[in-house]
Structures are given as structure tokens and as C-alpha cells.
Amino acid sequence: MPTLWARTRTTLEMIKWEHSIFALPFALTAALLAAPHGLPAWNKLAWILVAMVAARSSAMAFNRWADADLDAANPRTRSRALPAGLLTRAFVLGFTVLTALLFLLAAAELNRLTLLLSPLVLLVLFGYSYMKRLTRWSHLVLGLALGLAPSAAWIAVRGSLDLRIITLTGAVILWVAGFDVLYACQDFEHDRATGLHSLPQAVGINAAFLVARGMHATMLALLICLGWLFHFHLPGWLGIAAVGLLLTYEHSLVSPRDLRRLNAAFFTMNGVIAMVFLASVAADLWMRS
């Protein structure tokens, strides 16, 4: 049992379990918007939760498996579970397969369209792990991997896609891509030395900061468009304003010359942003009911 507990704890650390909160509130926001006259059925919400956590866990495990050699060569990441020998490649691959199967099961329990689209979702999730070997725009692929969540949740509730919710998908894509650009600044020297692709590696850290700020400004514009499309009332607009203020605060914590507070800025605060937006939309819809 101690060995099983230790391996479980190491696995949860490997997949950064606590970061599941990033995209999940946006998926729940979409689920609420898809059922504006009441909550979605509880079994729908439960399977959406299972699908989200399983998909992200599978993607993270696969990323660690695919990047094991790269992580071993990077001083910042060589203490991760695989390079450090805390887990075996076979175990991580097995975990990837099991959580992917759980995701497919959840998709099947939701509706036919979610099941049909689920292999494409896995293709995007797993494909991201190889993008940094191919293109400086891998950050947008990571954004897409999380940005699919709102559209997927809408389909889970409605059984079809409404083009309005793609606005929220676009916002999440740019939100995630923007902070991933900044996160990649930590590996600027390593990526240049090893030939890996990233926006900071291609254009420099100063320019990468400008691109990230532009992405987050565009994200805010898309949220405003979302509010207009779904006829937000005061709580929804206050939520969008809060997202703008929190993003501004995030960017004030770091600069091209000082990345020390990057984790606090973009892992802690992004969870807050997602939860604040969910709460504001939930309050908006509650006031209408």
C-alpha cells in the first residue's frame, strides 16, 4: 500500500492534477449557457467532469512520455518523474491508455456526436506533444487542446454545435497560448541550444511578451463578443471586467527581465480567472431564471 500510494502521488504530480481547474470552469460555463433555462442534467455534468479530467490526464501523461528525453536534457525539467526514474515509461504509457479509454467512455455516455468527435480530440491532445519539434506556434496548439473544452461541453448538453460558443473557444485558445508563450521564456536558452521551437526562441523574449499581451487583449475582446451574443446582464459584464483586471495584474507580476513570479502569475491567477468567469456567468443566468 505505501508503494501504491507513493506511485499514485507521483502520478498526480506528474500530470499536475491541480491544474485541471484551468479549462474545466470554461467547459462548465458553456454547459450552463447551453441550458439557459435551468441546470443541465446532473448526469450530463458528471460525465462532462469525467471527460475533462480524463482527457487532460491522458494528454499530460502522454506529453511526459513523449518528452522524457527532452526533459532529461533540460535543467528545469530533469527532476520530473520519468527523467528522475520515479516512474517507468511503461507505467506512464499504460496510464495514458487507461485515461484515454475513460475519456472515450465518458464521451459515449454523453451523446453520439461527442463519441464521434472524441478521437479527433485525442488527436489534438496527443499531437501537441510533438508541435514544439515542428513550429514556433505550438502554443496555439496547446491553446486549442484546452479551448476545445467549451465547444465540447456545449455539444455534450445540446447534441449539436452553436457557432456562438466558438467565441468562447477562441478566447480560451488565446488565453492559454498567451501564458504558454510567457512560460516558454524560461526555456529560451535551452530551446535555442537544442533546436526546439517556441515563439520566444524565434523572436526573442521582449517580442514574445508583446505577442502574449496581444493574445490576452484579443481574448478579452472575444469575451466581450460572447457577452453580446448571449445578451449578458450586469453580472456577466462584471465578470468580463474582472477577467480584464486579473489579466492586467498577471502581466504586472512578470517582465522580460524578471520571470521569478511566473508560476504565481500564471498558475495561481489563471485558476482564479476561470472560476471568477464561471461564477459571473452562473450569477447572470440565475438572475434571468
pLDDT at residue 250, as a whole number: 87
Question: Pick the residue with more confidence: 190 or 226?
Answer: 226
Question: Pick the residue with more confidence: 170 or 260?
Answer: 170
161-289 belongs to CATH 1.20.120.1780: yes
Domain ranges in the chain? 35-131, 161-289
Is the pLDDT at 10 greater than 80? The verdict is no
> Which pTM was predicted?
0.88
Q: To the nearest whole number, what is the mean pLDDT of the chain?
A: 87
pLDDT at residue 6, as a whole number: 66
pLDDT at residue 1, as a whole number: 43
Which three-class secondary structure string do you get for the chain? CHHHHHHHHHHHHHCCHHHHHCCHHHHHHHHHHHCCCCCCCHHHHHHHHHHHHHHHHHHHHHHHHHCHHHHHHCCCCCCCCCCCCCCCHHHHHHHHHHHHHHHHHHHHHHCHHHHHHHHHHHHHHHHHHHHCCCCCCHHHHHHHHHHHHHHHHHHHHHCCCCHHHHHHHHHHHHHHHHHHHHHHHHHHHHHHHHCCCCHHHHHCHHHHHHHHHHHHHHHHHHHHHHHHHCCCCHHHHHHHHHHHHHHHHHHHCCECCECCCHHHHHHHHHHHHHHHHHHHHHHHHHHHC
Lowest mean pLDDT segment, chosen from 11-25, 63-77, 206-220, 245-259? 11-25
pLDDT at residue 190, as a whole number: 76
Superfamily of domain 35-131: UbiA prenyltransferase (1.10.357.140)
Is the pLDDT at 2 greater than 50? The verdict is no
% the chain with pLDDT above 70: 91
- List, for residues 245-264, the tens digit of each pLDDT value: 999 998 888 888 887 777 76
Residues 66 and 163: their CA atoms lie apart, in Å, by: 34
Q: Give the pLDDT mean for 118-132.
A: 92
- List, for residues 45-88, the tens digit of each pLDDT value: 999 999 998 998 898 889 888 888 877 877 777 777 777 777 78
Is the pLDDT at 218 greater than 90? The verdict is yes
The cell numbers describing 200, all together, are 520566444
Amino acid found at 42: W
C-alpha distance from residue 285 to each of 79, 195, 236, 264 (Å): 45, 49, 9, 31
% the chain with pLDDT above 90: 52
Residue 110: strand pairing partners: none
Is the pLDDT at 205 greater than 50? The verdict is yes
Is the pLDDT at 148 greater than 70? The verdict is yes
Residues 193 and 175: their CA atoms lie apart, in Å, by: 28
Q: Give the pLDDT mean for 127-134.
A: 88
Is the pLDDT at 116 greater than 60? The verdict is yes
pLDDT at residue 83, as a whole number: 78
Q: Give the pLDDT mean for 124-149.
A: 91
